[in-house]
Structure 1
């Protein structure tokens, strides 16, 4: 957790509202493997990280609510009556969505003030949105004694994104942010919303994230489009979700769907299997097998699910050229953001320098490199 960010957020709150706040840290997340499987009731392999959102929150004596985003230096005042989404892309929608979803389940929230800031790079695919949603719902739960469980909180955060942001996301981001365990990754079953934790100690290897620093505008619409394809094919197969499908069953309806949609669904089925295989490889300490699964995941995302982009493909290509890297893939919804790379510690600096130089030469744009530690999930800061 960033202590200077913590101090800044707390001081801003006290300065603006003249009272001590409840403080919350909510982390972003990485996902080792299992991309676009969460909204298909499948398996994913995320972990919370030490970059996140810090929020200061408490009751307000006024007849309205005030939110201040320190990163944007923007203030937003609103009433708790008739809450609805603002224009698309507004950060306010994440906040308003959480409040509206709490109201929908019959819980009473009074007027409040909130100040928040974060150090999750925007557009990195590390889910700053889920971190913000979780920080708001946990803070409101504490301030107004709502009695919500953490499972109830993540469903509120997810519905906020569905109904106020317009992204029909699965549960992975909210779950990983809320339930993260320090130094562990979670093999999450998105149907039962339960997970098994895996100690992450690769000894001589580590994960490095490389951010393309691009976010192509197709991302949200393409995300919803692919979810729609998955749901329609599941209905054709007469199953609850693609988690229940096999490639053999999919082949039986191949002539009833387009070749493009056939490959998208085939990717989901294969990626679900890769997530389970990755957990076994980690249990056995077989990092070479894990690396091969990462590369296979990216190939599927690039050529079957078609959510990659030139910048992501280039960085994965650079990873393949470097002997110190066991595996790499794009991470997140797609069309930009980060690659996640499994790299030998003694060759990490060489790889980062080589990839950065090549990327700048290719795109005339700098990439950003992050080292992250695996963190505890959303929690109150004493």
Structure 2
């Protein structure tokens, strides 16, 4: 958690609104394994990290609300009874969406001002959107004593994204950001929305993210397309979600689906299994097995689910050449963003430099490297 972020939003808030705000920090997240399994009712293995969004929030007596995105140097004013989605892709939809979903639950909130600023790298697949949604709902819950549970809050954040942003996301991002525990990853059952924390002893290894700094434009449509493919195969199998299917079930309908969709469903079934095996490996302090599962996850995302891209594949292939990297894979929705790497502490800096150099040579583009720690979820800062 960055002290300068918090200082920035606090000082700007006091200067702008002449009152002391409530301060909230809401983290971004990583996902160790379990990609595209969340909307299939499966398991995911996320953790909150020490990068996120700091928000300063307080009641307003001006008859309107003001929200300021400090990073973007962008300010909006709005009225609580006149909310509707703004133009596509604009940050205010995350704020509007949360407010609208709170009101849909017949919870009464008054006017408020909010200023936020983050240090989650954009487009890195670390869920800055969930962090923003959670900071808004958490702040409003506190400010107006709405009595919402953390579970209710993340469902509000998720609905905001569905209805105001137009992304039909699963629950993982909001969950990890809200419920994170320092030094732990959360094995989250996306069907029951219950998680078991696993304390990770990384021993002499650590997690490192390498951001491709690319975002290929087909990501949203490809996401929705894969989601509907999974849903239609589940329907064919007569199950609620692919969580309820195994490889043998899938073989029975092989002639009823396209080879591409067969592979996508197979990937999901296998990834749900890998995620549970990863939890077991962590329990047994077996980082080698964890690393092998992470590599297998990338292979599935690349060749079966087909949501990777050349830049991500290149970074994973660089990792595979280095015996100090136990595992690497693309993380997030795909088509850009980051790879997550499980690497020996003493080799991390050298690998970061060699991979960055090779990447620049190959793509004539810089990649960015982040070292992260697993940290606590959304909370008030005293």
Which digits, 9 at most, give the CA deviation of each residue in 1:62-95, with x for residues without a partner?
1211000000000011111131211111111111
Structure 2: distance between partners of 1:249 and 1:166: 33
- 219-228 or 294-303: which moved more? 219-228
Partner of 2:152: 152
| SS in structure 1 at match of 2:201 | coil
| SS in structure 1 at match of 2:81 | coil
Structure 1: distance between partners of 2:352 and 2:119: 21
Contact 1:45 1:186 in 2 (8 A): yes
Structure 1: distance between partners of 2:107 and 2:175: 21
Structure 1: distance between partners of 2:101 and 2:228: 23
C-alpha root-mean-square deviation of aligned residues, in Å? 0.8
Which digits, 9 at most, give the CA deviation of each residue in 1:109-136, with x for residues without a partner?
1111000000000000100000000000
Alignment of 1:339 onto 2:334:
no
Contact 2:247 2:269 in 1 (8 A): yes
Alignment of 1:172 onto 2:178:
no
| SS in structure 2 at match of 1:373 | coil
Structure 2: distance between partners of 1:82 and 1:6: 30
Partner of 1:361: 361
Cα offset, 1:58, TM superposition:
0.8
Partner of 1:118: 118
Contact 1:27 1:48 in 2 (8 A): yes
Alignment of 1:377 onto 2:362:
no
Contact 2:201 2:285 in 1 (8 A): no
| SS in structure 2 at match of 1:29 | strand
Contact 2:31 2:45 in 1 (8 A): yes
Which digits, 9 at most, give the CA deviation of each residue in 1:177-211, with x for residues without a partner?
00000111111111111111111221111111100
Q: Residues 69-108 of structure 1: matches in 2 within 5 Å? A: 69-108=69-108
Q: Residues 284-295 of structure 1: matches in 2 within 5 Å? A: 284-295=284-295
Contact 2:53 2:135 in 1 (8 A): yes
Partner of 2:68: 68
Unaligned runs of 5+ in 2: none
Structure 2: distance between partners of 1:252 and 1:88: 42
- 284-293 or 89-98: which moved more? 284-293
Q: Return structure 1 stretches of 4+ with deviation > 2 angstroms.
A: none
Aligned length: 382
Cα offset, 1:224, TM superposition:
1.3
Partner of 2:272: 272
Taking structure 1 as the reference length, the TM-score comes to 0.99
| SS in structure 2 at match of 1:81 | helix
Unaligned runs of 5+ in 1: none
| SS in structure 2 at match of 1:300 | helix
